[in-house]
Amino acid sequence: MNLRVDEAEHSMEMHLPYLVKVFEGHPVKVVPILVGALCAENEAMYGKLLAKYIDDPQNFFSVSSDFCHWGSRFNYIHYDKKYGAIHKSIEALDKMGMDIIETGDADAFKEYLSEYDNTICGRHPISVFLHMLRNSSTRIKIKFLRYEQSSQCKTTRDSSVSYASAAAKVDA
């Protein structure tokens, strides 16, 4: 990546303070993997390549993404009126994607993105991770724990960014 893109990338800077707190008092090595805009075939290839690391219980993965960037400033204004207020439509759109991620189905997630064009910044790392799960021998269950929006859009002049957090654990 060029210097401008590198300087604009901020996911690691956002995650490191949390990881430092979570692992406080425990020696850890951080191996950042920046996933750019990949085609579906490369998402699958990297997922297969990295799957063996899921099987090592010493490894911890933190996959960074926010969810819908909604509003004209983001060039995305998907609105399904059946949900009522715009912010409820955004929530339904995001929860649809979150439900698919919880299934671990990389193909269904790709179909969702293709159909709705949801502006999930980390769609490629999420897809790589789903392919890692598909190719690993360890069964992992993903569960979303929290969902928020930066603001509740009521008109098409509004904008917001959605945030969701999930945890993945060995499915016993």
pLDDT in tens, 132-171: 999 999 999 999 999 999 999 999 899 999 999 999 988 8
The pLDDT assigned to 22 comes to 87
The pLDDT assigned to 32 comes to 79
Please name the residues in contact with 65: beta carbons below 8 A apart, sequence gap of 6 or more. Answer: 120, 121, 122, 123, 125, 126
The pLDDT assigned to 116 comes to 96
The pLDDT assigned to 61 comes to 86
Look at the domain 3-170 and name its fold: Protocatechuate 4,5-dioxygenase; Chain B (3.40.830)
Give buried/exposed letters for 77-102 (b at 16+ CB in 10 A, else e). Answer: eeeeeeeeebbbbbbebbeebbebbe
What is the distance of C-alpha 106 from the center of its chain? 12
pTM: 0.89
CA distance 99 to 103: 7
Ranges of the chain with pLDDT below 50: none
Alpha helices in the chain (DSSP H): 3-8, 11-22, 40-50, 86-103, 106-116, 123-135
The pLDDT assigned to 33 comes to 82
Please name the residues in contact with 22: beta carbons below 8 A apart, sequence gap of 6 or more. Answer: none
